[in-house]
Amino acid sequence: MPPEYAIPAQPPSLAEARAYCRRLATTHYENFSVATWFLPKHLHEHFYAVYAYCRISDDLGDEVGNAQTSLRLLDAWEDELNACYEGRPRHPVFVALVETVRQCDIPKKPFADLLVAFRQDQTVTRYERFEDLLGYCRNSANPVGRLVLYVCGYRDPELQFLSDYTCVALQLANFWQDVTVDWEKGRVYLPLEDLRRFKATEQQIADGRFSPEFHELMKFEVTRARDYFNLGLPLASRVDKHLALDIELFTRGGQEILNAIERQGYDVLKSRPAISKARKLALVLGATVRRIF
């Protein structure tokens, strides 16, 4: 394990484990603190634990730089996940998760599914059909939304399906935003059948060469992501106001990524589309006002 994620010989106390997760969550990703601000305080420690699990899992899959090493580390991480559900974890993340899993009655499957996706990233770098990409999203994105619902006390399968639509939409928005970033990692998430359909090529990504054909491809993919956001919209009206605002914030953030792609004429090859700090602030302030009133 990387030193900062090493599994100790002896497990820490629950207080130490929660402090570890809180530190990782609040210093590693600035938007996480904003999102949890809208949620009831008694749930914060649970979200810190879930976030820490997702963060380290992602890093073991994406930041190691060697596929075989990543696969070996992900296996060790899954051993700790199994130990967590057997009541004998050593890593601080899983010591904290034991209590979260117990109090929120969370099954192991969404945690395990994430590891399936991170392993897949080590061996699969192209997706022939959109349905194949959706299969990847079922493990890489959907479990996160389901974990959020479990922590907030929702177990209704219908709500989980609505959450899946939103999570797929967010994943697609990030894929379309990061076409060049993923290319540098050796990955292409644009379905190959779509590249052929619109007469666009991987070589254009490599060369940063935008064209009318690539414009039509990205316009199609952005519309597809918007359709998934729309399918997930009913979820916010089916949960309490705290979680609804959190869902709204992430949904609007994802839609703003798509807006940013549109604003630069769908040219994701010249520069990575981004949301300005002013627009991020407006989204947060808007959600805050709706919470107050």
My answer on whether 96 and 189 are in the same domain is no
Which of 55, 57, 45 lies closest to 81, judged by CA? 57
My answer on whether 147 and 119 are in the same domain is no
Residue 11 scores a pLDDT above 50? yes
Confidence at residue 63, expressed as pLDDT on a 0 to 100 scale: 85
My answer on whether 118 and 142 are in the same domain is no
Domain end point (choices 54, 89, 123):
123
Angle between the 30-37 and 241-263 helix axes, to the nearest 10 degrees? 140
My answer on whether 267 and 135 are in the same domain is yes
The CATH number given to whatever domain includes residue 265 is 1.10.600.10
Confidence at residue 233, expressed as pLDDT on a 0 to 100 scale: 93
**Dihedral angle sign, alpha carbons of residues 152, 153, 159, 164:** positive
C-alpha pair distances (Å), 81 with each of 90, 129, 291: 10, 32, 36
- Confidence tier at 292 by pLDDT (50, 70, 90): very low
Cβ-based neighbours of 206, under 8 Å, separated by 6 or more: 183
My answer on whether 95 and 218 are in the same domain is no
- Is residue 262 a contact partner of residue 226, using CB atoms and an 8 Å limit? no
Q: What range does the domain containing 11 cover?
A: 1-123
**Tally of domains in the chain:** 2
Give this prediction's pTM.
0.91
Percent of the chain with pLDDT over 70: 90
DSSP state of 201: -
SS3 173: helix
Per mean pLDDT, which of 75-84, 268-277, 283-292 is the most reliable? 75-84
Residue 214 scores a pLDDT above 50? yes
Neighbours of 264 (CB within 10 A): 15
Confidence at residue 283, expressed as pLDDT on a 0 to 100 scale: 59
Domain end point (choices 74, 95, 123):
123
Round the average pLDDT of the chain to a whole number and report it.
91
Q: Which residue has the tokens 């990782």?
A: 24
